[in-house]
Amino acid sequence: MDKVFLTRWFWWVLLLPCTFVGARVAQVVWYDPSALGPDPAQSLVDLFGTIALWLLCAVLFVTPVQTIIKARWLLRQRRALGVACFGYALLHWLSYAGLLLEWQWQNLGQDLLKRPYIIVGFLAGLMLLVLAGTSNNASARALGRRWRILHRLVYPAAVLVLIHMFWVARSDYTEVALYSAVVLLLLLHRWRQQAKSS
């Protein structure tokens, strides 16, 4: 199959959640103001956060799935998945800062200094920013061997995201426990692979 087509096709798939959210937003703005509930800004924050989390899990899934079904093409899409994950994490932050807090810089700053779940979330976001910023071929070439090491940042980022979720949870840990189990399994798998190859 044509490589360029494959890459582009994949990018369109990654935009699907965005069109879904966009459709809901359009519905709220032009048709039914209650389509996202009584607190639409908070709904958007939650939606983008969830999508980013799924994509983060998807990134971590690529290597183990690839070894099982031997789909080399999947490995080539890992960077696209990662960049999309950062994109949705950015939308998650933008909707929190812009829609919920309406860019009150003082409150944004206070949240960032005082509220632990926001601190870890922000740190995870910064890590994703570094990864997305160095995901292009030029950076990979420039960094050489160090690129692979740098991009292992995705693991601490995933752990911080789970802590972020754990601290956001108020009355029940079922959801964060599920995601933690998934991430833990993926990390264990990765660790075993590493042990085997060395």
Partner 1 sequence: MKTPVGSTLTEADVTPETVYLNRRQYLKTSAVAAAVLVAPKLKASESTFGADPAPLWLQSQNKQASPSPFSTTEKLTPYEYVTGYNNFYEFGTGKDDPEKYGQDFKPHPWQVTVSGLAEGTGTFDLEDLLKGLAVEERIYRLRCVEAWSMVIPWLGVSMAALLKRLKPLSSARYVAFETVYRPEEMPGQASFFAAIDYPYIEALRMDEAMHPLTLMATGVYGRSLPNQNGAPLRLVVPWKYGFKSIKSIRKITFTDRQPQTTWQKANAREYGFYANVNPAVDHPRWRQSEERRLPSTLFASNRVPTLPFNGYAEAVAGLYQGMDLTKHY
- Per-residue binding string, partner 1, 139-178, x by CB under 8 A, is ------------------------------xxxxxxx-x-
Taking the C-alpha atoms of residue 103 and residue 94, their distance in angstroms, rounded to an integer, is 9
The region of 14-22, 82-90, 106-114, 147-155 touching partner 1 under the rule CB under 8 A is 106-114
C-alpha 167, offset from chain centre? 18
Token readout for 74 is: 């999947």
Beta carbon of residue 19, minimum distance to partner 1 (angstroms, whole number) = 17
127 sits near partner 1 (criterion: CB under 8 A): no
- Per-residue binding string, partner 1, 31-70, x by CB under 8 A, is --xx-xxxxxx--x--------------------------
Beta carbon of residue 35, minimum distance to partner 1 (angstroms, whole number) = 10
Taking the C-alpha atoms of residue 118 and residue 165, their distance in angstroms, rounded to an integer, is 10
Instruction: Supply the DSSP symbol for 101.
Output: S
Amino acid at position 92, single letter: H
Token readout for 166 is: 């754990």
109 sits near partner 1 (criterion: CB under 8 A): no
Residue corresponding to tokens 């494959």: 6
